[in-house]
Amino acid sequence: MKTNALIETEAWEIALLLFVLMIISSFIGKKIGNYIQKRKSPKEKSTETSTLVALLFFLLAFTFGMSSDRYNSRRQIVVEEANDIGTAILRSDLYPDSTRALFRKDFKDYVEARISYYEVGPNLKGILKADSLSQVISGKLWKRATDLSKDPNNLAATQQMIPALNTMIDVTTSRLSGEKAKVPKSIMIMLFCLSFITAFYGGYSDGRNGRIDWLVQIGFCLLVSLVVLFTLDLDRPRRGFVNLDVPNQTIIDLRKNFE
Q: What is the mean pLDDT of the chain?
A: 88
pLDDT confidence bin for 105, thresholds 50/70/90: very high
pLDDT confidence bin for 197, thresholds 50/70/90: very high
Say whether pTM exceeds 0.75: yes
The pLDDT, as a whole number, for residue 216 is 85
Cβ–Cβ under 8 Å, residues 122 and 135:
no
pLDDT confidence bin for 50, thresholds 50/70/90: confident
Q: 89: closest CA among 64, 102, 107, 105?
A: 107
Cβ-based burial of 68 (10 A; exposed 0-12, middle 13-18, buried ≥19): middle
C-alpha to C-alpha distance for 138 and 245, rounded to whole angstroms = 24
pLDDT confidence bin for 99, thresholds 50/70/90: very high
The pLDDT, as a whole number, for residue 254 is 94
C-alpha to C-alpha distance for 117 and 136, rounded to whole angstroms = 14
The pLDDT, as a whole number, for residue 40 is 63
pLDDT confidence bin for 133, thresholds 50/70/90: very high
